[in-house]
Amino acid sequence: MASASKTQTITQSFFLLFLCCQPLLAQIPNPETLAEKHQQYRVKSLEDRRVKHRDIQPLIDHYRQKPQFKVQRVGTSVEGRPLHLLSTGTGPTQVFLWSQMHGDESTATMAIFDVLAFLSDPANQAITKPISQKLSIHFLPMLNPDGAEVFDRRNKLGMDLNRDALRLQAPESKVLKRIRDSLQADFGFNLHDQSRYYNAAFTPKPATVSFLATAFNEAKDINETRKKSMQLIVRMNEVLQILAPGQVGRYDDTFEPRAFGDNIQKWGTSLVLIESGGYQNDLEKQVIRRLNFVTLISALSAIGDESYAQEDHQDYFDIPMNDRKLFDLKIKEVNQTWKDWRGVTDIGIQRIEVDDTAHVNFYHKSQIVDLGDLSTYYGYEEFDARGYDLVVGKKYIPQATDPKIPSKTQAIALLKKGYLYWQVAQAPSDVEVDVPIFLVSPKFVVPDNSLYLGKNPNFLLRKNGLITHAIINGYLIDLSQEVDSFRNALYLR
């Protein structure tokens, strides 16, 4: 018994010693807890990706009233919209984050204001106090407000700000360089969005978040500055693997001499580039916004307690590369007949966003973007069409007793009978149609069953003599179920 008691005492001592040796890791915020908290700090006035300069001004003004924040006007855009820097913390380590240098890449802009709300809440002091004591954090949300106004990548001069680090022609670029230099930032976060069609290489999973420790020369050498970027990314990847396993990618690190990320790394700031990609059923990127929120807070904490330095920077290279092999919809091995030819083909479909005139909303105008053997590609949605025939739809000419535009129920009934098109005497006011059938003019001629790149995907699927599914503007509709994920059809002349 004495021997067993002694063994137990030794075991407990080793366990306590282990715990004492892990103080830095213990301070890292729990990712799942942060994800749950996000709803509390999610800024409700930012609801979708088409964030405008006017949307964030009340939020910036809010932080002018908080003593722990400093708000500075640091410049203006080409069209005269003010650029602001929001700073907090008193620590010696300078951290600089900027977002929306591309006007149509706003996921991190939304997340930044969620992070600010979290940092400003005294209830979170267990996490935020150590951060504010060790770091001085500077946020420049929406570097390109003129591009954001029209939801465009480039600024008013038509320039890609991320390719203006050498010439510094754009006023927004000059602001970014001046702030980086004035802070002599130790860490920088270059926050972007990437296409939702990127996947983690060799997997069907989207690259929901991708990282890049930018190269500072053609040889892609690793100095101490870049090594820190890699170590921090390894830590951030560990966080994301808890919340979105397998959905993290690594961006190509080929040196781009004109890019801000590459040059900021060269200028001595450990630069982390974050790209927000796609997530199933998250067109407005609200799930990805939450992932940004958790990742950024976790990163700030890891910088503050320097726990990121415990990571092996070589693990950075274990993150799968970005690949671009995703479609919104992939139809697999459908039977197609063309004159005397009969065979099977895969169809890759993307739902292209078309902005409205005010750039506050959009509709889809889908396209076939690939055909043939797509066995190495993936879809957010996939349909195995083996045994199904591709069928051309017919045009329905309404009778006097029919409505001008069919109801959803009527549209589904017509699709089952082989009709894809409803003729209207007068063009509707909008191009998009909210029922699952195409509206067409009297001059409209039903196309043949040929498939080609760029064609709007609209056809029917038939099996054993029955039409069971319709593809309407790139949306797969199961005619035996309620239509729940359809956004819009189109008016075709």
pLDDT tens-digit readout, 330-379 = 999 999 998 888 999 999 999 999 999 999 999 999 999 999 999 999 99
For 162-204, the pLDDT digits (tens) are 999 999 999 999 999 999 999 999 999 999 999 999 999 999 9
Helix-helix angle 31-41:107-119, to 10 degrees: 90
Dihedral (CA of 86, 155, 56, 81) sign: positive
Among the residue ranges 18-22, 52-56, 231-235, 361-365, the one predicted with the least confidence is: 18-22
Q: What percent of the chain has pLDDT over 70?
A: 94
pLDDT, residue 265, reads 98
What's the rounded mean pLDDT across residues 203-214?
A: 98
User: CATH 3.40.630.10: does it fit domain 21-323?
Assistant: yes
**Per-residue DSSP letter, 486:** -
pLDDT in tens, 32-48: 999 999 999 999 999 99
Asked if residue 486 lies in contact with residue 408, where contact means CB atoms within 8 angstroms, the answer is: no
Kindly list the domain boundaries of the chain, sorted by start residue: 21-323, 326-492
Model confidence at 13: pLDDT above 90: no
Q: Would the pLDDT of 57 be above 80?
A: yes
* 296 close to 249: Cβ distance less than 8 angstroms: no
This prediction's pTM: 0.92
Q: Is the pLDDT of residue 21 over 70?
A: no
Judge contact between 328 and 351, C-beta under 8 A.
yes
Can you tell me whether residue 244 is helix, strand or coil?
A: coil
DSSP-based three-state secondary structure for 440: strand
Residues 232-259 have pLDDT tens digits of 999 999 999 999 999 999 999 999 999 9
3 state SS of 433: strand
- Gyration radius from the chain CA atoms: 27
Residue with tokens 């060269």: 266
- Distances 478 to 373, 455, 461 between C-alpha atoms, Å: 24, 22, 10
Backbone torsions φ then ψ of 60, nearest 5 degrees: -65, -45
pLDDT at 28: 62
pLDDT of residue 346: 98
Q: Is residue 26 over pLDDT 70?
A: no
CB 326 within 8 A of CB 350: no
